[in-house]
Amino acid sequence: MALTLEQVRHVATLARLALTPEEEQRFATRLSAVLDAVAQLQALDVEAVEPTSHATLAASLLREDATRPSLPPEKSLANAPAKSGTSFAVPKIIE
Amino acid sequence: MQLTDLTMLELAAKLAAGAVSSEEATRACLERIRQVDPKVRAFLRVDEDGALAAARASDARRKAGSPASPLDGVPVGLKDLFLTEGVETTAGSRILEGFVPPLDATVVRLLKEAGLPLVGKLNLDEFAMGSSNESSAYFPSHNPWDVTRTPGGSSGGSAAAVAAREVFGALGTDTGGSIRQPAAFTNTVGLKPTYGRVSRYGVIAYASSLDQPGPMTRTVADAAALLQVIARHDAQDSTSAAVEAPDYSADLEAGVRGLKLGVPRDYFTEGMDPEVEASVRAALAEYERLGATLVDVSLPHTKYALATYYLLAPAEASSNLARYDGIRYGLRARDARGLKELYAQTRERGFGPEVKLRIMLGTYALSAGYYDAYYLRAQKVRTLIREDFTKAFQQVDALLSPTSPVPPFKLGEKVDDPLSMYLMDVYTLPCNLAGLPGLAVPCGFTKAGLPVGLQILGRPFDEARLLRIARAFEREHDFFRRAAPLQGA
């Protein structure tokens, strides 16, 4: 299945990746090749099969709903590329 | 014989007898790294100060007669996918360059509590996506058996460091074979535990329903001892199994007499290297000689495993990697205008080609109009693959197969051909899809002196039996004593 450049750009937008024109070309080729290879799954009849999202279907383990100490703000912010006081700083999003 | 040639348990015995100190053992590792790592390039970061401080603390405990565990004082390394408080952790990616975690992964905490000095962080394919270490954003690691070849991936740095005797053991992670394939490529033992056996808390996620940390060591007994330290229920990981860990060393020497070992005919297919096949067939014959019964079994959906994996793993990855947005940690594109551009440019600059390819693939498989045809269908085929194993294990105690279809290949050989690289995982990834434990143990060498690994797959939580089966072979053929040619380099 050949992916068009337009489809590649659409997927890149969904994935929040700003691809270069060369990357768009390369990904069109490579994604198409991988999608061709996985097309064999279409041959199987899976109508009556239940999907598996996790291999070990352990009962959902819940832990006690108790308050515990969380990371202090200075630790949480230690790796922030930009911060302001006790907050992560981001570019202005409202004009 | 050098100190670094000892196995973990041999060193532990010497530490217990007071014949050597943990500080000496740790200094021997550091010296060995200085000697050979310029060739092997296994380490992204060596934490000399941290390791020596831990070693001295261990020696003090020994002196006081209160070692923290049987492995107290034995230096090990960590794949750079495990969060280590205060020590840079990058997952082999530029997007996390300079990231210093504020906490330890649960398994790292367990290793520290057991007293094992952590020598440093080992190279890997970026975000564990790869089978050769070449997608590391920093540099490829080299195979100590032939430095022009790959040590495998994604835990290639861990395997190379153990094989080159830079550390006594290491932890890796396995999503589609990332512990077992590099173990097979480097004449070491790699164990991927049952999904849920070892906590994933603080392990940087690739594909959450498949990822599992595990030990990489020179011997089977070392793997059992290291697994003993990290196999623990963890309330911090909601997929961690509340199953008590047995004593993994107890039945190690019990042999294989009377066991039924399945040989899946679907794993002996076209494309397998004849020398790999010969080594594995010889190992099968050895098991028969040791009293096991070989049973021909079929896992009919094996041929669909690769396609299933390369839809499900990228889909989960595209979701997990959405957290790298340039806001809270890691790289940020400085000149972006607005939030959307900040995300897109940060990710464009921070991720390497293989990671981008998998994010794109996963995003596509999950996108509107394609979800049913790709993602949901793959989840259903996953069920069929699991059922194949369930049926096989009604007949046999474990399954034997090659780990990789080929011996370690040359660096650069497959870089431009993702599909051919993906084929390297064909025997290992069904085990991850089914959540089963799998172990790779050295089973011979090619004429060119390249290692070959036998893979043993088992029922959920049956790691002890896999170790026992592997040990039965290792006792007859102690390939682990053979040192990689780098020795003394």
Whole-angstrom distance, CA of residue B442 vs CA of residue B283: 10
Nearest to A3 by CA among A32, A38, A46: A32
Determine the distance in angstroms separating the CA of B361 from the nearest CA of chain A, rounded to an integer.
7
Distance between CA atoms of residues B402 and B404, nearest Å: 6
> How far apart (Å, rounded) are the C-alpha atoms in residues B455 and B380?
26
pLDDT for position B420: 80
pLDDT at A54 over 90: no
Q: What is the arithmetic mean of pLDDT over B281-303? A: 97
Percent of chain B surpassing pLDDT 70: 99
Cβ distance of A34 and B419 shorter than 8 Å: yes
Q: Which two tokens stand for residue B378?
A: 């793959």
Residue B145 and residue B449: Cα distance in Å, rounded?
7
Residue in A27, A62, A78 nearest the CB of B100: A78
Q: Which of helix, strand or coil describes residue B46?
A: strand
pLDDT tens readout for residues B226-261: 999 999 999 899 899 989 999 999 999 999 999 999
Q: Does A83 touch chain B (CB under 8 A)?
A: no
Question: Choosing from B141, B155, B178, B279, which is the catalytic residue?
Answer: B178
Is there a catalytic annotation at residue B79? yes
pLDDT value at residue B271: 82
Q: What is the pLDDT of residue A59?
A: 54
Is the distance from CB of B122 to CB of B77 less than 8 angstroms?
Answer: yes
**Is B240 designated active site?**
no
Task: Output the pTM of the full model.
Answer: 0.97
Whether B279 is a known active-site residue: answer no
**Per the structure block, which two tokens stand in for A58?**
């352990």
- Hey, are the CB atoms on B359 and A15 less than 8 Å from each other? yes
Mean pLDDT of chain B: 96
Q: Which residues of B touch A68 (CB under 8 A)?
A: none
- Do B135 and B92 contact (CB within 8 A), yes or no? yes
Whether residue A18 and residue B347 make contact (CB cut-off 8 A), yes or no, is yes
Chain A residues closer than 8 Å to B434 by CB: 55
Greater confidence, B116 or A55? B116
Q: In terms of C-beta density within 10 A (0-12 exposed, 13-18 middle, 19 or more buried), how is residue A24 classed?
A: middle
Average pLDDT over residues B40-51: 98
* Other Cβ atoms within 10 Å of A61 Cβ, number: 15
Are B330 and A17 within 8 A, CB to CB? Answer: no
**Single-letter amino acid, residue B287:** Y
Q: Are B74 and B25 in contact (CB under 8 A)?
A: yes
**Residue A60: which pLDDT band, with cuts at 50, 70 and 90?**
low
Residue B489: what pLDDT? 43
The answer to whether residue B487 scores a pLDDT higher than 60 is no
- B328: nearest CB among A20, A44, A80: A80
Chain A environment of B328 (Cβ under 8 Å): 76, 79-80, 88
Nearest CB to A91; choose among B240, B342, B363 = B342
Distance (Å, whole) CA B300 – CA B313? 21
Asked whether the predicted pLDDT for residue B22 surpasses 70, the reply is yes
A1-10, long-range: CB < 8 A, 24+ apart = A1/A32, A1/A35, A1/A36, A1/A39, A2/A28, A2/A32, A3/A27, A3/A28, A3/A31, A3/A32, A3/A35, A3/B364, A4/A28, A8/B360
What pLDDT shows up at residue A94?
77
The pLDDT of residue B142: 98
Query: For residue B224, what are its two tokens?
Result: 């059992």
A66 touches chain B (CB under 8 A): no
Crossing angle for the helix pair B48-63 and B8-17, to the nearest 10 degrees:
50
- Report whether pLDDT(B112) > 80: yes
Q: Which residues of B touch A54 (CB under 8 A)?
A: 195, 209, 239, 435
Mean pLDDT highest for which of A58-62, A63-67, B368-372, B455-459? Answer: B455-459
Q: Cβ–Cβ of B235/A61 closer than 8 Å? A: yes
Q: Do B347 and A54 touch (CB under 8 A)?
A: no
Closest Cβ–Cβ partner in B196, B239, B347 for A17: B347
State the sign of the Cα–Cα–Cα–Cα dihedral B111, B117, B122, B127: positive
User: Mean of the pLDDT values across residues B448-455?
Assistant: 97
pLDDT over 70 at B401, yes or no:
yes
Whole-angstrom Cα distance, residue B473 to residue B486? Answer: 26
Taking the C-alpha atoms of residue B434 and residue B264, their distance in angstroms, rounded to an integer, is 15
The DSSP secondary-structure symbol of B137 reads S
* Integer Cα distance of B68 and B396 in angstroms: 39
Tell me the pLDDT band of A58, cut-offs 50, 70 and 90: low
Output the CA torsion B436→B442→B443→B444 (10° steps): 150
Average pLDDT over residues A78-88: 95
Share of chain B above pLDDT 90, in %: 93
Residue-level pLDDT at B488: 44
Q: Is the pLDDT of residue A48 over 80?
A: yes
Residue among A9, A17, A64, A70 with most chain B CBs within 10 A, to mutate: A17
Q: What is the pLDDT of residue B386?
A: 96
Give B269's pLDDT tier (boundaries 50, 70, 90): confident
In angstroms, the CA B213 to CA B215 distance is 7
Q: Do B339 and A37 touch (CB under 8 A)?
A: no
Q: What percent of chain A has pLDDT over 90?
A: 72
- Mean pLDDT for the stretch of residues B60-71: 98
- ipTM score above 0.85: yes
Among the partner-chain residues B308, B330, B361, the one whose CB lies closest to the CB of A41 is: B308
Q: Which residue of A has its CA nearest to B332?
A: A81
> Which residues on A lie below 8 Å from B98 (Cβ)?
79
Contact yes or no for A27 and B194 at CB 8 A:
no
Q: How many residues does chain A have?
A: 95
Tens-place pLDDT, residues B152-185: 999 999 999 999 999 999 999 999 999 999 999 9
Q: Which of B22, B58, B79, B199 is catalytic?
A: B79
Residue A64 Cα, gap to closest chain B Cα (Å): 9
Average pLDDT value for residue range B185-203: 97
By Cβ distance, the residue of B329, B367, B383 closest to A11 is: B367
The pairing of strands B118-122 and B43-46 is antiparallel
Closest Cα in chain B, distance from residue A51 (Å): 4
* A71 contacts chain B (CB < 8 A): yes
- Whether the per-residue pLDDT at A1 is higher than 80: the answer is no
